[in-house]
């Protein structure tokens, strides 16, 4: 499993199905999951119909790629999440019409993270459908231009992923909607390094027993995490101490990095046994997405 970007900005503008397939072949990857990159379907202050139209066009484009390349692509459909009614319609269209394999959300929208109460109707529907939600990092309004010469991709993407995980946990969203399978990019951002602060906060927050009844560490270990931009010894070792290998899936971040570099980094990290590597590279994704053809 991995993510690709449809043309939005920067390197993503160079993305083509042919380029993606060639990159997959060089790394021995059979199937890749299509998803859009940041800023996702988010047009603050504009007509709601614009977000609804872009989401529909994006999802139908992805569905065509899936149909045209049997077994090579799966689809994470996009939602105009801050538009609740539009998102509910997009969920119906994504799963019932274009047969998406899951949903792609950004880690935040403006200054609102995924555990926000305003998103409850959407989470209820995704829980009902037992959806896989893949999250792609972005930069919150607070933190896009903090330091000259330091792009948000360098620090803020990992940090915003961590904020999203905290939001889903400490809002009680993870516990309230247990049928949602969450995938967080980039090894969970900085979460593995901040795990002690997560557990400490849970221990002093009197709401924790209600919001995270299994305990914060158990809920964290229920989430899935990909290897995009993190397939190195330091990050993979840290992640493997927090969650089992069964919760890690392959992510390349193409076209921002090649799939081959990701696979090579993962295998040389020394963090996993050969059996665990097979789970990360294929086994867990096959369980998450059983409808995707495995041959042909």
pLDDT (tens digit per residue) in 235-277: 999 999 999 999 999 999 999 899 999 999 999 999 999 999 9
| Rg for the chain, CA atoms, rounded | 18
> What is the predicted pLDDT for the residue at 143?
77
> What is the predicted pLDDT for the residue at 136?
95
Any domain includes 295? no
Q: Which residue segment(s) compose the domain that 279 sits in?
A: 3-288
> What is the predicted pLDDT for the residue at 223?
98
Any domain includes 55? yes
Any domain includes 265? yes
Distance CA 296, CA 39 (A): 34
**Residues in the chain, pLDDT under 50:** 1-9, 295-296
Any domain includes 296? no
Any domain includes 54? yes
> What is the predicted pLDDT for the residue at 96?
98
> What is the predicted pLDDT for the residue at 7?
37
> What is the predicted pLDDT for the residue at 97?
97
> What is the predicted pLDDT for the residue at 271?
97
> What is the predicted pLDDT for the residue at 6?
39
> What is the predicted pLDDT for the residue at 10?
54
Domain CATH number, residue 134:
3.20.20.140
> What is the predicted pLDDT for the residue at 140?
78
> What is the predicted pLDDT for the residue at 41?
87
User: Of 294, 293, 296, 291, nearest to 102 (Cα)?
Assistant: 291
Long-range contacts of 237-245 (CB under 8 A, 24+ apart): 237/269, 237/270, 237/271, 238/187, 238/192, 238/193, 239/187, 239/188, 239/192, 239/271, 240/271, 240/272, 241/192, 242/188, 242/191, 242/192, 242/195, 242/217, 245/272, 245/273, 245/276, 245/279, 245/280
Total domain count, the chain: 1
> Could you report the per-residue pLDDT of 50-72, keeping only the tens digit for each?
999 999 999 999 999 999 998 99
> What is the predicted pLDDT for the residue at 3?
45
Alpha helix stretches (DSSP H) within the chain? 17-27, 48-68, 84-92, 120-128, 152-170, 173-176, 195-204, 208-211, 216-222, 233-240, 259-268, 274-278, 284-288
Which residues, listed in sequence order, are joined to residue 4 by a DSSP beta bridge? 34
Any domain includes 189? yes
Any domain includes 294? no
Any domain includes 293? no
- For residues 121 and 91, is the Cβ–Cβ distance under 8 A? no
């Amino acid at each position: 499993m991995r993510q690709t970007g449809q043309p939005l900005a920067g390197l993503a503008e160079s993305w083509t199905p042919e380029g993606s397939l060639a990159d997959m072949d060089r790394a021995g990857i059979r199937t890749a999951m299509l998803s859009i990159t940041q800023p996702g379907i988010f047009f603050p202050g504009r007509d709601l119909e614009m977000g609804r139209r872009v989401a529909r066009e994006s999802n139908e484009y992805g569905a065509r790629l899936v149909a045209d390349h049997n077994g090579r692509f799966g689809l994470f459909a996009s939602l105009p999440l801050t538009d609740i009614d539009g998102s509910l319609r997009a969920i119906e269209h994504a799963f019932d019409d274009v047969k998406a394999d899951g949903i792609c959300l950004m880690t935040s929208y403006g200054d609102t993270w995924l555990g926000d109460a305003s998103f409850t109707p959407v989470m209820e529907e995704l829980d009902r459908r037992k959806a896989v939600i893949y999250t792609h990092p972005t930069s919150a309004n607070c933190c896009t231009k903090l330091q000259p010469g330091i792009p948000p991709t360098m620090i803020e993407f990992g940090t915003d992923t961590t904020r999203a995980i905290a939001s889903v946990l400490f809002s009680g969203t993870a516990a309230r909607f247990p049928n949602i399978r969450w995938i967080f990019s980039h090894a969970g951002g900085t979460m593995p390094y901040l795990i002690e602060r997560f557990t400490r906060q849970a221990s002093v927050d009197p709401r924790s027993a209600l919001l995270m009844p299994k305990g914060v560490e158990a809920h964290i270990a229920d989430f899935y995490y990909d290897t995009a931009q993190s397939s190195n010894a330091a990050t993979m070792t840290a992640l493997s101490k927090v969650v089992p290998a069964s919760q890690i899936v392959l992510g390349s971040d193409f076209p921002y990095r090649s799939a081959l570099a990701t696979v090579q980094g993962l295998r040389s990290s020394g963090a996993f046994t050969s059996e665990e590597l097979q789970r990360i590279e294929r086994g867990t994704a096959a369980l998450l997405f059983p409808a995707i053809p495995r041959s042909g």
